[in-house]
Amino acid sequence: MADGKKAKKLLVLGTASDVGKSIMVTGLCKVLSRKYKVAPFKAQNMSLNSWITKDGKEIGIAQAIQAKAAGVEPTADMNPVLLKPKGDRTSQVIVLGEPYADKSAGNYYDSIEEMHGVLKGALERLESEYELIVMEGAGGAAEINLYDRDIVNVGTARITGAPIILVGDIESGGVFASLYGTKALLPEDISRNIRGFVINKFRGDPAILEPGLRQLEELTGVPVLGVLPYYNLKIPSEDSMAIRKKKKSQEKQENINDVDIAIIRLPRISNFTDFEPLEKIARVRYVNPDEDLGKPDCIIIPGTKNTVSDLLDLKESGMDVRIRALHGKIPILGICGGYQMLGRTIHDSGVENGTEADYEGLGLLDVETSFGEYKKMTIQVRKEVVAEGPIFKHIKGQEVWGYEIHMGTTKTQKTVFGNDGSIDDSGTVVGTYLHGLFENANVRHALMIYLAEKKGVEYIPEVVTTEEEAYEELAGVVESCLDMRKIYEMIEEQDQH
Which amino acids are annotated catalytic? Answer: 336, 435
Alpha carbon separation from 86 to 103, 227, 412 (Å, rounded): 10, 37, 27
Cα 346 to the center of its chain, rounded Å: 27
Q: Are 287 and 250 in contact (CB under 8 A)?
A: no
Strands 90-95 and 98-104: antiparallel
The rounded distance, in Å, linking the Cα atoms of 295 and 71 is 43
Starting at the edge strand that comes first in sequence, how are the strands of the sheet with 81-87 ordered?
44-46, 81-87, 90-95, 98-104
The rounded distance, in Å, linking the Cα atoms of 489 and 311 is 53
The rounded distance, in Å, linking the Cα atoms of 139 and 15 is 7
The rounded distance, in Å, linking the Cα atoms of 51 and 53 is 6
Phi, psi of 268 (to 5 degrees): -115, 35
Strands 429-432 and 332-335: parallel
